[in-house]
Amino acid sequence: MIKLEIDGKAVEVENGSTVMEAANKVGSFIPHFCYHKKLSIAANCRMCLVQVEKAPKPLPACATPATEGMKVQTASQYAKTAQQGVMEFLLINHPLDCPICDQGGECQLQDLAVGYGGSASRYQEEKRVVVNKNLGPLISTDMTRCIHCTRCVRFGQEIAGVMELGMAGRGEHSEILSFVGRTVDSELSGNVIDLCPVGALTSKPFRYSARTWELSRRKSVSPHDGLGSNLVVQVKVDKVMRVLPRENEAINECWLSDKDRFAYEGLNSAERLTKPMLKQDGKWTEVEWNVALDYVAHALANIRNEHGADAIGALASPHQTLEELHLLNKLVRGMGSNNIDTRLRQLDTRADGQVKGVRWLGMKVADLAALQSVLVVGSTLRKDHPLLANRFRQAAKRGQQVNVLHVADDDLLMNVANRLIVKPSQMADALAQVAKALAALKSQPLSKSVADATANIRVSDAAQAIAKSLADKEKVGIFVGNFAEHHPEFSTLYALAQEVARLAGGTLGFLGEAANSVGAAAVGAVPGSKGLCAQGMKSQPRKAYIVFGAEPDLDAADGEATLAALYTAETVIAFSAFKHAASRYADVLLPIAPFTETAGTFVNTEGTVQSFNGVVKPLGDARPGWKVLRVLGNLMKLDGFEFNSIEDVRADIAADLQGFVAGKLNNAIGEVTMNLAPATAGVERIAEVPLYAADPLVRRAPSLQKTADAKRAATAGLAPDVYDNLKLVDGQSVRIKAGAAEVNLPARRDPTLPAGTARVALALPETLALGAATTLTLEMLPVAVTIGHAAE
């Protein structure tokens, strides 16, 4: 520890601390622009110059190491003169356009200019003008305002892992830009908007729509990926205008993924469902809530009476709140059915009976950094979990060995120690190789089922290297991604991952698909031993379906077949915030509130329970889902639906929600029959869920749909051998067949794929017809279609 004095106040700081950190500790504010606690020190803005005893010149507090006995004055005349001098320099070329600047009111330069700037300028020369850049659909630029702090550049290099922005030129002509004409495509790009201390980089979707002082700031939690990023939702006259990160070091730190930040646009979509609707004689009519709910209660009762309760099934989205899923579960079970599932994309549920609890990350998010070696199995890591990927990225910089077993050699923008890239059908075999090699390295026996299954497999060099990495380290984690969870042999992968973790003495974890996957399982919104899973309800069609928050055509693994089942049902009741395909198959559309219009709770992948309140009134006649379910329960005269508040619902789940969830978390799985490498024919499909197609809200966010990621989603990425065999040219479409189904997509050569594979995404209208097909036949189409047009 180092003892020093800041502004006459004694303070003790860790060795290696800076004067800035010491000053923060005693509450002395030192003005700054380029300094940011999460970024490397640049010391370029010079705003934090302070007086240090015995130093011949003012020193930058951000970069000056605290030393024993140091005496620092942060606001002496000497320090202030230096700070004011810097402020004058910053302002001479900064435009006086605050009245039309989106940053106005939340601008560090504006704020500090009040304290450190002059009331008139001594600069009589011409001001600099810098041409704006098109950085894509999310970030708006006014580069004349840039003060060259390089926070955005450092963010790319250090956090996003990709240097998309740089500072070109030199001297007064330096400017921040992307490589000529390129957009900023990182899935974390929006953070540069927060980082920019001036109005040079602002939010494009938010541009000119409100002033910061007109906005109320309300706390919320992101409803998208399993991380549960903490949000500040900014609201003007009952409309969500913008979403910003709410700092939580344990979860999202001070960052947000672009999905968390910009998906709010979907809340204001024209597709919002604002009135209960009934289909009568093939025509939709708006009705009052009591009419709609009466109809629903009767319809469900009729089905139960005529066909038995088992004829009723519920498909719910894991992006819905804990309270909703609890009540839905209660409703379904109360009617006597056990057919409820939230794992709509999980094809393989044969091991459900062997599962000992609710699968989760296996540890705290913040503890990922302490692992020395990790194996990520079957994850489109950067896109599915942008901020978890960043945790690994930062840890990898400090020596964590990140090993990857996946179906595509995606650039994770981090140092990957070893990669094992195989076709989807070979994933289990590949993971088994790791287990086999690890057992040998550790001189430990494999469990019998694994030993039997792996007796004849050959360990590849890559598998050996991964096993060595896991064997050599003490703190090890095996993490199973969404792709593996959606895999037709998920059960095998699960059991093998457990075996690898056991042999390595490490922790098994699941990265977690949706905002409330853990919560859904915890409140039992999964079938259990007696009910049908989502796949079961597809292959054994029910007479009645409750579709809750989901769009099964896009949210289910086999959208096409699920749709077919829904079409044959006698009644389908769709709870949704949006009008969607349900208008074709449902009888009733019930407008429920999205996360911003209801109180609720999400349980994130690390098992943390995060409750939140609505931030705006429900749109139109939309109502919080839990209230609708409560009334429905009452109408159906089911027990246990007497609630006056959301707190009552929570209490109905458990008195201590966090303790309740914690008690359920368990990744253990019992004996599973191994099925290592099924024979396949044709081109294997890599069926990913594109990040901006993953849930109903993000699908309706226009700006995200204009990103490079979204555009690429609707194309077929073909392994080089597949592409070359078809003799395709850039942008040409391919006909993709699976059985009788066929779709056409623009093709592109994707060198990251193993031979004999094609990336053809799930969750898109364009690929719906293919269902969950795992193998494809490809044909060249005679006519070229431009990729840009197809994706627009």
Partner 1 sequence: MSLLSALAKQKIDRELTKYPADQKQSACMSALAIAQDEHGWLSNELMDEVAQYLGMAPVAVYEVATFYNMYNLKPTGKHKVTVCTNLPCALSGGVDAAEYLKHKLGIDFRETTADGQFTLMEGECMGACGDAPVLLVNNKRMCSFMSKEKLDQLVEELKK
Partner 2 sequence: MSALNYGPDAVILKGLTGENWRLKDYEQRDGYAALKKILKEGMKPEDVINEVKKSALRGRGGAGFPTGLKWSFMPRSFPGPKYLVCNSDEGEPGTFKDRDIIRYNPHILIEGMIIAGYAMGIGVGYNYIHGEIWADYERFEEALDEARKAGYLGKNILGTDFSFDLFAHHGYGAYICGEETALLESLEGKKGQPRFKPPFPASFGLYGKPTTINNTETFAAVPFIIREGGDAFLAQGKPNNGGTKIFSVSGHVNRPGNYEIKLGTPFAKLLELAGGMRGGKKLKGVIPGGSSMPVLTGEVMMATDMDYDSIAKAGSMLGSGAVIVMDEDTCMVRAAERLAYFYFEESCGQCTPCREGTGWLYRVIHRIEHGQGRPEDLDLLLNLADNIQGRTICALGDAAAMPVRAFVKTFRAEFEYHIEHKRCQVKTGGYSNAAEPLQMAAE
The answer to whether 159 and 39 are in contact (CB under 8 A) is: yes
The footprint of partner 1 (CB under 8 A) covers 162-170, 177-182
Q: Which is nearer to partner 1, 41 or 163 (by Cβ)?
A: 163
**Residue 56: contacted member of partner 2, partner 1, none (CB under 5 to 8 Å, by partner type):** partner 2
Q: Which is nearer to partner 1, 178 or 230 (by Cβ)?
A: 178
Which of 47, 44, 65 lies closest to 55 in space, CA to CA?
65
DSSP bridge pairs for 545:
313, 572
The answer to whether 217 and 232 are in contact (CB under 8 A) is: yes
Q: Hey, what are 384's tokens?
A: 């599915």
**Residue 181: contacted member of partner 2, partner 1, none (CB under 5 to 8 Å, by partner type):** partner 1
Whole-number Å distance between alpha carbons of 292 and 590 = 8
Q: Which stretch binds partner 2 (CB under 8 A): 122-130, 286-294, 407-415, 425-433?
A: 122-130
Q: Hey, what are 462's tokens?
A: 């890559």
Among the listed residues 27, 69, 118, 169, the single contact to partner 2 using CB under 8 A: 169
Whole-number Å distance between alpha carbons of 787 and 733 = 8
Which of 652, 352, 231, 307 lies closest to 342 in space, CA to CA?
352
The one-character DSSP state at 159 is I
**Residue 594: contacted member of partner 2, partner 1, none (CB under 5 to 8 Å, by partner type):** none
The reply on whether position 537 binds partner 2 by CB under 8 A is no
CB of 28 to partner 2, least distance (A): 20
- The contact mask relative to partner 2 for 474-503 (x = CB under 8 A, - = no) is ------------------------------
The reply on whether position 308 binds partner 2 by CB under 8 A is no
CB of 370 to partner 2, least distance (A): 24
The reply on whether position 86 binds partner 2 by CB under 8 A is yes
Q: Which is nearer to partner 2, 166 or 528 (by Cβ)?
A: 166
CB of 645 to partner 2, least distance (A): 54
**Residue 88: contacted member of partner 2, partner 1, none (CB under 5 to 8 Å, by partner type):** partner 2
Q: What is the largest CA-CA distance in the chain?
A: 91
Whole-number Å distance between alpha carbons of 401 and 374 = 6
Among the listed residues 2, 75, 92, 366, the single contact to partner 2 using CB under 8 A: 92
Whole-number Å distance between alpha carbons of 695 and 704 = 13
Q: Which is nearer to partner 2, 171 or 782 (by Cβ)?
A: 171
Nearest-10 crossing angle of helices 646-653, 625-635 = 70
Q: Is the CA virtual torsion 717, 721, 722, 728 positive or negative?
A: positive
Which of 590, 712, 63 lies closest to 331 in space, CA to CA?
590
**Residue 165: contacted member of partner 1, partner 2, none (CB under 5 to 8 Å, by partner type):** partner 1
> Rounded to 10 degrees, what is the CA torsion of 307, 311, 312, 318?
180
Among the listed residues 6, 13, 30, 45, the single contact to partner 2 using CB under 8 A: 45
Angle (CA) 203 209 210, round 5° = 100
Q: Which is nearer to partner 1, 10 or 129 (by Cβ)?
A: 129
Q: Which is nearer to partner 2, 153 or 501 (by Cβ)?
A: 153
CB of 172 to partner 1, least distance (A): 13
**Is the backbone of residue 463 left (phi > 0), alpha (psi -120 to 50) or beta?**
alpha
Q: Which is nearer to partner 2, 136 or 199 (by Cβ)?
A: 199
CB of 189 to partner 1, least distance (A): 14
Whole-number Å distance between alpha carbons of 163 and 215 = 33
Whole-number Å distance between alpha carbons of 535 and 271 = 28
The reply on whether position 376 binds partner 2 by CB under 8 A is no
Q: Which is nearer to partner 2, 23 or 42 (by Cβ)?
A: 42
CB of 734 to partner 1, least distance (A): 24
Q: Which stretch binds partner 2 (CB under 8 A): 86-94, 271-279, 434-442, 643-651?
A: 86-94
The one-character DSSP state at 214 is G
Characterize 737-746 residue by residue with b for buried, 16 or more Cβ atoms within 10 angstroms of its Cβ, and e for exposed. bbeeeebbbb
Q: Which is nearer to partner 1, 631 or 708 (by Cβ)?
A: 708
The two beta strands, 9-13 and 2-6, are antiparallel
CB of 253 to partner 2, least distance (A): 25
Angle (CA) 788 789 792, round 5° = 80
Q: Which is nearer to partner 2, 65 or 536 (by Cβ)?
A: 65
The reply on whether position 172 binds partner 2 by CB under 8 A is yes
Q: How many residues bind partner 2 (CB under 8 A)?
A: 34
The answer to whether 715 and 686 are in contact (CB under 8 A) is: no
**Residue 86: contacted member of partner 1, partner 2, none (CB under 5 to 8 Å, by partner type):** partner 2
The reply on whether position 398 binds partner 2 by CB under 8 A is no
Whole-number Å distance between alpha carbons of 636 and 291 = 14
Q: Which is nearer to partner 2, 162 or 167 (by Cβ)?
A: 167
Q: Hey, what are 788's tokens?
A: 């840009």
**Residue 148: contacted member of partner 2, partner 1, none (CB under 5 to 8 Å, by partner type):** partner 2
CB of 181 to partner 2, least distance (A): 21
Cβ neighbourhood burial of 254 (10 Å; 0-12, 13-18, 19+): middle
The reply on whether position 148 binds partner 2 by CB under 8 A is yes
The reply on whether position 43 binds partner 2 by CB under 8 A is yes
The answer to whether 150 and 163 are in contact (CB under 8 A) is: no
The answer to whether 101 and 199 are in contact (CB under 8 A) is: yes
The one-character DSSP state at 705 is H
CB of 19 to partner 2, least distance (A): 12
**Is the backbone of residue 35 left (phi > 0), alpha (psi -120 to 50) or beta?**
beta
**Residue 57: contacted member of partner 2, partner 1, none (CB under 5 to 8 Å, by partner type):** partner 2
The reply on whether position 89 binds partner 2 by CB under 8 A is yes
**Residue 662: contacted member of partner 1, partner 2, none (CB under 5 to 8 Å, by partner type):** none
Residue 25, φ and ψ in degrees, nearest 5: -65, -35
Among the listed residues 56, 181, 282, 782, the single contact to partner 2 using CB under 8 A: 56
- CB neighbourhood size of 721 (10 A): 14
Cβ neighbourhood burial of 26 (10 Å; 0-12, 13-18, 19+): middle
The reply on whether position 123 binds partner 2 by CB under 8 A is yes
Please report the DSSP string for 532-601 in residue order.
--HHHHHHS--SEEEEES--HHHHSTTHHHHHHHHHHSSEEEEEESB--THHHH-SEEEEB--GGGS-EE
The reply on whether position 58 binds partner 2 by CB under 8 A is yes
Q: Which is nearer to partner 1, 161 or 527 (by Cβ)?
A: 161
The reply on whether position 90 binds partner 2 by CB under 8 A is yes
> Rounded to 10 degrees, what is the CA torsion of 441, 443, 447, 453?
50
Q: Which stretch binds partner 2 (CB under 8 A): 55-63, 223-231, 544-552, 670-678?
A: 55-63
The reply on whether position 147 binds partner 2 by CB under 8 A is yes
**Residue 191: contacted member of partner 1, partner 2, none (CB under 5 to 8 Å, by partner type):** none
CB of 187 to partner 1, least distance (A): 17
**Residue 41: contacted member of partner 2, partner 1, none (CB under 5 to 8 Å, by partner type):** partner 2
Q: Which stretch binds partner 2 (CB under 8 A): 78-86, 181-189, 389-397, 566-574?
A: 78-86
Q: Which stretch binds partner 2 (CB under 8 A): 84-92, 100-108, 195-203, 612-620?
A: 84-92
Whole-number Å distance between alpha carbons of 586 and 589 = 7
The reply on whether position 68 binds partner 2 by CB under 8 A is no
The answer to whether 243 and 261 are in contact (CB under 8 A) is: yes
What are the residues binding partner 2 (CB under 8 A)?
41-47, 49, 56-58, 60, 63, 65, 82, 85-86, 88-90, 92-93, 122-123, 125, 147-148, 167, 169-174
